[in-house]
Amino acid sequence: MRDEQKTKIELIGQLKALRQRVAQLEASEAEQKKIQERLRESKKGIEDILNFYPDIIVVTNLSGKIVECNRAAPHLLGLSTTGELVGKSAFDLISSEDREKVRAEMRKILSRGYVEGAEYTLLWPDGSKFPVEVSGTLIRDFLGNPTSFILVMKDLARQKKTEQILRKSTHELGERVKELNCLYGIAQLTDRHDGLEELLEGALELIPSAWQYPGITCVRITLEDQIFKTSNFRETVWKQSSDIVVQDKKVGTVEVFYLEEKPKSHEGPFLKEERSLLDAIAERLARTVELKGTERTLKKSRERLQSVLASSPDAITVSDLKGNIIECNQATLDQHGFSSKDEIIGKNALDFITPRDHKRALENMKKTIKEDFIKDVEYAFLNKDGSEFPAELSASIIRDSAGRPTSFVAITKDITERRRAEKTLQDSERRYRLLAKNVIDVIWPTDINLNLTYISPSVTHLMGYSLEEVMALRLEEILAPDSFLSVMKVFEEEWSVESKKGRGRRRPTLELEVNRKDGSTVWTETKVTYLRDADGKTLGISGVTRDITLRKKMEKRLVEYTKKLAGRNKQLRVETGRARRAEEASKRTQEKLRESQQRYRALFEGAAEGILVADIETKQFKYANPAICQMLGYNEEEFKRMDVRNIHPKEDLDHVISEFEAQARGEKTLSSSVPCLRKDGTTIYADINGAKVSINGREYNLGLFKDITQRRQTEKKMEEYAEELAAKNEELKVETEKAKEADRLKSEFLASVSHEIRTPLSTIKGAAYLLNKSSLSEEQRRFCSMIRDSGEHLLRIINDILDLARIEAGQARLEEKELSLKELVEKTVFGFELRAKRKGLELNTIYPSDLPLEIRADEGKLSQVLTNLVDNALKFTQQGKVEVKLEKLADLNIRLQVKDTGIGISEQKLSHIFEKFYQVDGTSRRKYEGTGLGLTIVRELAKLMAGKIEARSRLGKGSTFSFTFPYSAAKQRMVQAKDQAKPKTKQQLKKKINILIAEDDDSGYYIMESLLDDYTTSRAVDGREVLEKIREKDYDLVLMDIQMPEMDGLETTRKIREKDSTLPIIALTAKAMKGDRERCLEAGCSDYLPKPIELEELIAKVSQYLPKKARQKEK
């Protein structure tokens, strides 16, 4: 950045000198007309450049009003034309929080002339925001007074998003490579080890490395009565496991533990890919266990072939003397692509050999009978699909006790890979021989003493010697003395680095002078690579040498040409002095030209991308901005002595010249990933936008260069990663597909767990309620209460897990309404009075005299906090009391305090109690139930309500939990009771109400029918039956189960609403996930009830939607 500023200061100095030169030009009336024409052409050229530039460019006056902009500006700002932007204040484009900073930056521009690299946020017409990087330059008139600003704004959102996606993709790709390497390693262990113990011990070493935090990962594998553990194993609460299941029977478990807690993603402490990987590992081990058992059974059942089967790992067949196959091993099936022995046994061996080899095969069968065996006879065998593969067959004859031949035993070895490898090796040798023979560069490896071990034939053209003569020379005879010393110095430095640090990594490029046979020398560029053995020890060097004699001559000519230009510049200064007399006559014209040039130069210098302007006829560069100078390593003067062909490799010149000529014809061009040569000899890659512009009456080609070298390197690494993954064993593809399927199934788990558990819970709770209403003995009522309490406990656990999932996913929202805090507390505490009474505890509430009658707050979340705190207090208190106290604090705050006389918490444990899954100690876990999520949810709800939760405790004395939260005062309102006419016979009126219950679960329907026994109810088991019943009969209300076969509840509701918009429909769902209520109401449901359904809630909802119907029925 400092170098760029320094370059800009130098360019400003050059501009001042140019201003003085122009002021001194002598111009007659004809010359003034020419200057005016140049001014118009220069302005047109600047407008072309402005409109060609892809970023936002605006020109403002000193107060910030926009007076000019390029075509890209309105498009990037969400406008249609430049007219919508010109005349506006630049501050209207800036977000309100950045406007003062922009004013400060504009004052900074006034003081020092420019500013660059500032980041601000711009506004779209719809109010959305996006980040930009702003560079600004001050424009002055001929007297040096500031007149306006030029601002260039570059959109950063796309760039940052691309970088973020690239980092994330690279990280995820690395994690997937670790997982695939783990599965591949286990697959190799399966193939390498016969014993299960060796396999499982090897798996223990592989599994931790595939997890996100291998340093704190430990593993335990249980297989029947055997247990295998990693050396660092310790059981913790951060665990995931997967069962090893063989033939639908669980035979073991694979468990992975984290030794300490790590930050969680939305699905838990372990990645979903890790859960899929663990299932894949367990499935692989299960298949291995099953395979080992099968092998043992197979071994016992085929003892008569043990000696033969043990003699070869290849395909083995047993056939009668006619060639009919009577037995084969698994390798035979695999070799030919069959899945069952039934496809082979009974067929003739000739069926699996190509017909052209049948005659030779029959002769060899006779030979085998005569000589007892044949060995390594090659045939073309047939696969199941008819394709051929080469294999070697060895066969022997089996004789009975009398010595008569009875059958053949044949061993077939597939040699496809051997033939492929032999062909690959032959092709490789042929290519390398051809490459070495025809390459222009000279390739020359040496041994450790720098003696040539080989040299390519192209050396004869470079040096004039024959190959035999060169091989007889030493390196010091080939190179000029200074060049030989350079090679020795580099080699010694590499040797020193290797000795001290283990292994050098340099691959230097040297310019060396080489001696020719005729006594002359040539200059070469040599890239040196160090040759090492498998242990990294240096064996010698390898050089690739290219003739650069012509380049050296060109560099010398360039220096001479630079000197000539310096002489011409001196002559120009003398001639310029003669033009001073025209200063007054051309003053006004020159002032406009100067302002135009200042704008052009400011845009030129401030651009983030490189810009080159080249003469169309000569292709020589005319202008170069600082960005292109930094990109390619040349200064502007050096560029002016170069043309288009000097900055691109020879092999790309045809394409570059073609694009250049297309620009000259007026076409706009875009070339992607064009290689460009830097001054230091390295190559970068750039995207080049090209167009023709007119400057001072002469046509030029303008190129806009964007460096994409780093992006290409990243893309190349990504391609290498992809190629490495593609080269993995084919079996890994199958494992990956299974892992993906397992991942998909697990992704659906959270959505279905609520439905699968709440549906039977709804039945259990409803049945317990109805059972309790019937005639029962005391013991039966106690059992009934146990059922209801257990259901409530299970529901609390489910709700805790789902609540925490919603909170951590950011889906929890406050829903404030007016409520009575005293009634809320009394209602909540009342639900615990029976439990407190059973334990012999006092449960008291204390209210202050100044407690507001009503407040605005989230009733559900306040009740949830109080419920969790009272539940914990009762759980850990065996005698004494639990006290709930409210206090009104200053600044509209209320403290809710729950105090108990329970077991208390030690100071060491107190700081951890709000952590997820935390229990006090081992003894507490065995004695007290719970998930360890209650206080975590309280803490998160406190944060959501802008409150805070605090805890004080003394071991053995009890605990006090205080929840302080802000509230809003409720509006004063008058409550007026209304007289409502009630039916004389309520039971008869209810029986006139028809309710349709859409429920496919028999138990669920029976419970709801019993709960609504005062009403007339009907049932439908799917959506289609619901529509049929509504067409046949008028119903007053529909209880709609959302998850039904054939047609679900949401689709059914939409179809009902097409014809009836007034029928009350209450949605019933066991998912109870965030967004379910909104989806139900959006589909047309009147209201929503989550399962398991509470009787009070059901009756309240039914009563809410039936009063009007009831009055109509009564009339």
pLDDT at 417: 85
Asked whether the predicted pLDDT for residue 977 surpasses 50, the reply is no
**Interval 177-189 mean pLDDT:** 72
Q: How confident is the model at residue 467 (pLDDT cuts 50, 70, 90)?
A: confident
Query: Cα 951 vs. chain centroid, distance in angstroms?
Result: 40
In sequence order, the 6+-apart residues with CB closer than 8 A to the CB of 997 are: 1005, 1008, 1009, 1012, 1017, 1018, 1019, 1020, 1039
pLDDT tens digits, 228-250: 989 899 889 888 899 988 888 88
Q: What long-range pairs does 1015-1022 form, CB within 8 A, spacing at least 24?
A: 1015/990, 1015/991, 1015/1102, 1016/991, 1016/992, 1018/994, 1020/996, 1021/1045, 1022/998, 1022/1046, 1022/1047
- Beta-ladder partners of 317: 328, 410
* Element spanning 431, H or E: helix 416-438
State how far the alpha carbon of 866 is from the alpha carbons of 405, 599, 967, in Å: 91, 69, 16
pLDDT tens digits, 379-416: 999 998 989 999 999 999 988 777 889 899 898 888 88
pLDDT tens digits, 469-480: 888 888 888 889
Of residues 63 and 34, which shows the higher confidence score?
A: 63
**Which two three-digit tokens encode residue 605?**
């210098």
Of 135-149, 535-549, 917-931, where does mean pLDDT reach its minimum? Answer: 917-931
Q: How confident is the model at residue 772 (pLDDT cuts 50, 70, 90)?
A: low
- What secondary structure does DSSP assign to 1-45, as a single string? -HHHHHHHHHHHHHHHHHHHHHHT----HHHHHHHHHHHHHHHHH
pLDDT tens digits, 1092-1112: 777 777 887 888 887 555 545
Give the whole-angstrom CA distance, residue 371 versus residue 377. Answer: 14
pLDDT tens digits, 327-366: 888 888 888 889 888 888 999 999 999 999 999 999 999 9
Q: How confident is the model at residue 676 (pLDDT cuts 50, 70, 90)?
A: very high
In sequence order, the 6+-apart residues with CB closer than 8 A to the CB of 636 are: 623, 624, 629
pLDDT tens digits, 693-716: 887 778 898 888 988 888 888 888
pLDDT at 792: 66
Asked whether the predicted pLDDT for residue 975 surpasses 50, the reply is no
pLDDT at 201: 84
pLDDT at 928: 60
Edge-to-edge strand list for the sheet holding 217-223: 226-229, 217-223, 249-258, 239-246
pLDDT tens digits, 640-669: 999 989 999 999 899 889 888 888 888 877
pLDDT tens digits, 1003-1055: 778 878 887 888 889 999 899 999 999 999 989 999 999 888 888 999 999 99
In sequence order, the 6+-apart residues with CB closer than 8 A to the CB of 626 are: 4, 7, 8, 11, 605
pLDDT at 403: 83
- Beta-ladder partners of 845: 884
Query: Cα 824 vs. chain centroid, distance in angstroms?
Result: 46
**Which two three-digit tokens encode residue 1056?**
């009902």
- Indicate the SS3 state at residue 634: coil
Give the whole-angstrom CA distance, residue 227 versus residue 196. Answer: 12
pLDDT at 974: 38
Asked whether the predicted pLDDT for residue 74 surpasses 80, the reply is yes
pLDDT at 165: 67
With beta carbons less than 8 A apart as the criterion, state whether 848 and 963 touch. Answer: no
Q: How confident is the model at residue 282 (pLDDT cuts 50, 70, 90)?
A: confident
Work out whether strand 249-258 and strand 521-532 pair parallel, antiparallel, or are unpaired: unpaired
- What pTM was estimated for this model as a whole? 0.31
pLDDT at 171: 66
**Interval 137-150 mean pLDDT:** 80
pLDDT tens digits, 874-933: 888 999 999 999 998 887 889 999 999 998 888 888 777 887 666 655 444 445 666 667
Edge-to-edge strand list for the sheet holding 405-414: 325-328, 315-320, 405-414, 388-399, 373-382
State how far the alpha carbon of 737 is from the alpha carbons of 276, 285, 1035, in Å: 11, 17, 50
pLDDT tens digits, 783-836: 676 776 666 666 666 666 666 666 665 656 777 888 888 888 888 888 788 788
Asked whether the predicted pLDDT for residue 425 surpasses 70, the reply is no
pLDDT at 755: 58
Give the whole-angstrom CA distance, residue 67 versus residue 957. Answer: 77
Give the whole-angstrom CA distance, residue 569 versus residue 575. Answer: 10
Summary mean pLDDT of the chain:
78
With beta carbons less than 8 A apart as the criterion, state whether 411 and 312 touch. Answer: yes
pLDDT at 81: 85
Asked whether the predicted pLDDT for residue 141 surpasses 80, the reply is no
- Beta-ladder partners of 151: 58, 136
pLDDT tens digits, 197-228: 888 888 888 888 888 888 889 999 998 888 99
Asked whether the predicted pLDDT for residue 964 surpasses 80, the reply is yes
Of residues 561 and 390, which shows the higher confidence score?
A: 390
Judge residue 838's burial from the number of C-beta atoms within 10 Å of its C-beta, 0-12 exposed, 13-18 middle, 19 or more buried. Answer: exposed
Asked whether the predicted pLDDT for residue 15 surpasses 60, the reply is no
Give the whole-angstrom CA distance, residue 352 versus residue 125. Answer: 75
